[in-house]
Every structure is written in structure tokens, then in C-alpha cells.
Amino acid sequence: MALKQISSNKCFGGLQKVFEHDSVELNCKMKFAVYLPPKAETGKCPALYWLSGLTGTEQNFISKSGYHQAASEHGLVVIAPDTSPCGCNIKGEDESWDFGTGAGFYVDATEDPWKTNYRMYSYITEELPKLINANFPVDPQRTSIFGHSMGGHGALICALKNPGKYKSVSAFAPICNPLLCRWGKKAFSGYLGTDQSKWKAYDATHLVKSYPGSQLDILIDQGKDDQFLLDGQLLPDNFIAACTEKKIPVVFRLQDGYDHSYYFIATFITDHIRHHAKYLNA
């Protein structure tokens, strides 16, 4: 698992780096970005995983969100992987922006032709953490996860499917209930097949209902003027209702006037970094 450094830039006293490696899970070369705060020079730091949304790569987040200052101050190593395998030459993978390349949906595909490469869930929860723990000064016991849109969905399911693995979770405009939205239906049917019972294993709202109750503080920011919210792709109310019922702590903030863009993310990224830092640095 040799790492190849693609780039390294100093930022807020730390280093924003991009690496490439050969992924076993995904059977392809994968890139990921990692920010090493100044604190990482002297000791192990908590690791915070960021999952980008549809069409994103490792680059979106590191170039647009402006998270570096907060991460530097709180001493967090922030890892931003790509959103899907790439260059696998699977037929139809580049046909649409909401399926295939750039739309891995953080599931382990069970259907041909995707199942050999599209194993983003295992990549994010298993392979990548091992890689990071082995190669960077991080404390495996202190890990959190957050994401945007599809990445928000990914963050929620990773946290809910692995109680105790993540100290905290947060999301910007997450796809909360993919079973009931068009994006989710398209992706899940493609990757998981038509058996909808299998889908529930990757649906945050459903996962909450069976969540065993290890304390998890969830922060969700949602732009009120997000067209995908209005389009019914995100369905946060379902998730909140489920959390209220199951007494899973969520603070859901509906931010007036914000849309789905990185401008919205950049506005509240500091709150989210602090939210994670509170648990990671407690």
C-alpha cells in the first residue's frame, strides 16, 4: 500500500497534501487529500473524515470549504477521499452525474458490474482508516466523520452502522432518506439490486430506528433555499422525526437563504469543525 504524494501545500501552519494509492477494496488507484495541522508535527491528532457529495472529488472540499483555519486551530487531521472509484472502465459509469463515477453513494455494491469496484463503504470505514492510521500521526480512538449531501448520507450511515467508531458526526444538507428519493432509488437499485430490504442497511432514517443508543451528537445544517431540499431529495424531516422518536440527539439548523453550494458549507464549516473538536478533543 505505497502512498504516492501528489501535492503538498502549506496552509495555516500545516500541510495540505494529496496522495494516490492502489486501493484493494476498489481495485483502482484512488486519491485522497489529507490536512496535517501544526500539532501533527509533535503528536498524534484526531482524524476527521470528510465525505463529498455527488460529482465531487478529493479536490472540492479542500479548495472550496475553507476549513483549514479551524482544523489548524483545533489540531485535527482532516481526510477527504474521492467519492467513487475512477478509471475502472465499467460500462455506463460516466453516463450520468448521479450514478457511477462521482456517485458511489458510500455503499458496497452487490450487483454486477459494480460490485468489484464500487465498495466505497468498506473503503471509507476499513481500508482508508487503516491506511491513514499506518501512515499519519493520528489517534485511531478519536475519529469523527462528516459530509455534504451524498457525503452527508455517507457520514450518517457510517456513524449509525458503527456505533462507537465515530465520536461525532455532522452533515451539510445530507440525503437523509435515500429510499424515498429519486437519487437514492436510482443508485441503490443499480448498486444493490431491486430488493429494497437491502437498501435499508444504507438508509440513515432506517438505521436510526435500529441504532442501539450509544451516544452520538449529530449536527445538521440545511440551507432553506436548497433546491434539492425543495425537490424532495434530502428529506431531513424524516430523519429528525426518527431521531426524535429514538431520542438520538440532533440539532438541525435550517439556515435561512442558503442553498446547496460550497458557499453554504463555507459559512458553517467552522461550527462543524468545532462540533467535532468538542468530542475529539474532550
**What whole-number distance in Å separates Cα of residue 214 and Cα of residue 15?**
34
State phi, psi for 51 to the nearest 5 degrees.
-110, 120
Minimum CB separation of residue 273 from another protein in Å reads 10
Residue 2 lies near another protein (rule: CB under 8 A): no
Which one of the spans 99-107, 187-195, 247-255, 257-265 is the region binding another protein (CB under 8 A)? 247-255
Q: Establish whether 149 is a catalytic residue.
A: yes
> Contact, 268 vs 255, CB < 8 A?
yes
- The whole-angstrom separation of Cα 250 and Cα 208 is 11
- Could you say whether residue 200 binds another protein (CB under 8 A)? no
Among the listed residues 243, 258, 260, 269, the single contact to another protein using CB under 8 A: 243
The minimum distance between CB 74 and another protein, in angstroms, equals: 9
The question of whether 72 is a catalytic residue gets the answer no
Closest CA to 187 of 61, 93, 51: 93
- Asked if residue 256 binds another protein (CB under 8 A), the reply is yes
By C-beta, is 116 or 270 nearer to another protein? 270
CA atoms of 97 and 55, how far apart (whole Å): 6
Binding to another protein by residue 251, rule CB under 8 A?
yes
Query: Could you say whether residue 169 binds another protein (CB under 8 A)?
Result: no
217 is catalytic: no
- 249 CB neighbour count, 10 Å cutoff: 11
At 164, list the grid cell: 462507537
Q: Which three cell numbers stand for residue 279?
A: 468530542
Q: Write out the residues near another protein by the rule CB under 8 A.
A: 215, 217-219, 224, 240, 243-244, 247-256, 274-275, 277-278, 282
Residues with catalytic roles: 149, 226, 260
